[in-house]
Amino acid sequence: MRRRRGPGHFVRQVRVEPLADTGRYPFTLPAVRDLVANGLELAPGVTFLVGENGSGKSTLTEAMAVACGFNPEGGSQNFRFATRASESSLGDDLVLSWSGRKPRTGYFLRAESYYNVATEIERLDEDPYSPSLLPSYGGISPHERSHGESFLDLVSHRFGADGLYFLDEPEAALSVRGCLAVLVRLADLVEQGCQFVVATHSPILLALPGAAILEIADDGAITRTTYDGALPVRLTRDFLAKPEVYLRHLFEE
């Protein structure tokens, strides 16, 4: 029987190194300027980051993952491959405030580069002198599964107790049922001492009980909000309530 220990809280605060050169990208992004000015408090369990496309939520998530030692393209802290550098340098300038307890495991899931992670998994699995990685991914190469199935395999088999996980838009490959399955898995892992930082647009994932939701406004201000007040939830509800109104305005424009 799994031991329940409650939400993990490995990283408590994120701030920018005081001597960082803030006159360059990505410090020109409003959300990063807010991070410089105010830092960022991470909640126990799950912290969601929401905002419009280009708001900076993925940049912040990626930078935190890199500052924790994860590969910028995704994977565990043991992955060190690189295909095409697209990450910002923000991770090098972050200072993390840790609790006394360190995570036992962890992972950075970056939806847009998971194909590259899957290729690296296959390459590493060919090494006859190393243990097979595939059991941690459901026993099947992610390339032999659909994008959504490989995500679910990862969350179900690779993610474990006492872990620190960074997820960048995990819903990108998931159906509604897939999002519901991930929601249940996240709740289970939080009770096993895990901490998550998740950039998302998904109203389904945001419904996770007990999660903190941080919304990035157009001016870059990062503030805590409720489920009902979160932008993805408000817009989705409004559209589903009266799609014809939205469509009329969109097509007229």
Answer whether residue 151 is part of any domain. Answer: no
What is the pLDDT at residue 133?
61
Helix or strand holding residue 96 (H, E): strand 94-98
Give pLDDT tens digits for 190-237. 999 999 999 999 999 999 999 999 999 999 999 999 999 999 999 999
Which of 17-20's residues contact partners 24+ apart within 8 Å by CB, and which partners? 17/93, 17/94, 17/95, 20/93
Neighbouring residues of 162: CB distance < 8 A, sequence distance ≥ 6:
5, 8, 103, 104, 105, 192, 193, 194
Q: Among the listed ranges 11-20, 51-60, 142-151, which one has the minimum average pLDDT value? A: 142-151
**HSE, side-chain direction, 13 A CA sphere, residue 26:** 25
Question: How many domains does the chain divide into?
Answer: 1
Answer whether residue 70 is part of any domain. Answer: yes
Answer whether residue 59 is part of any domain. Answer: yes
Answer whether residue 157 is part of any domain. Answer: no
End-to-end CA distance of the chain: 57
What is the pLDDT at residue 158?
87
Distance CA 85, CA 249 (A): 40
pLDDT band at 19 (very low <50, low <70, confident <90, very high): very high
Question: Strand order of the sheet with strand 40-41?
Answer: 40-41, 11-16, 94-98
pLDDT band at 138 (very low <50, low <70, confident <90, very high): low
The per-residue pLDDT of the chain, averaged, comes to: 86
Answer whether residue 30 is part of any domain. Answer: yes
pLDDT of residue 22 exceeding 60, the answer is yes
Distance CA 102, CA 181 (A): 27
Q: Among the listed ranges 75-79, 160-164, 179-183, which one has the minimum average pLDDT value? A: 75-79
Answer whether residue 144 is part of any domain. Answer: no
pLDDT band at 249 (very low <50, low <70, confident <90, very high): confident
Rounded mean pLDDT of 106-114? 75
Residues paired with residue 247 on neighbouring β-strands, in sequence order: none
pLDDT band at 1 (very low <50, low <70, confident <90, very high): very low
Q: Among the listed ranges 123-127, 178-182, 194-198, 244-248, which one has the minimum average pLDDT value? A: 123-127
Rounded mean pLDDT of 19-36? 93
Rounded mean pLDDT of 33-61? 96
Answer whether residue 203 is part of any domain. Answer: yes
What is the pLDDT at residue 180?
97
pLDDT of residue 97 exceeding 90, the answer is yes
Q: Which domain holds residue 37?
A: 11-114+162-252
Answer whether residue 127 is part of any domain. Answer: no
CATH number at residue 104: 3.40.50.300
Q: Is the pTM of this model over 0.85?
A: yes
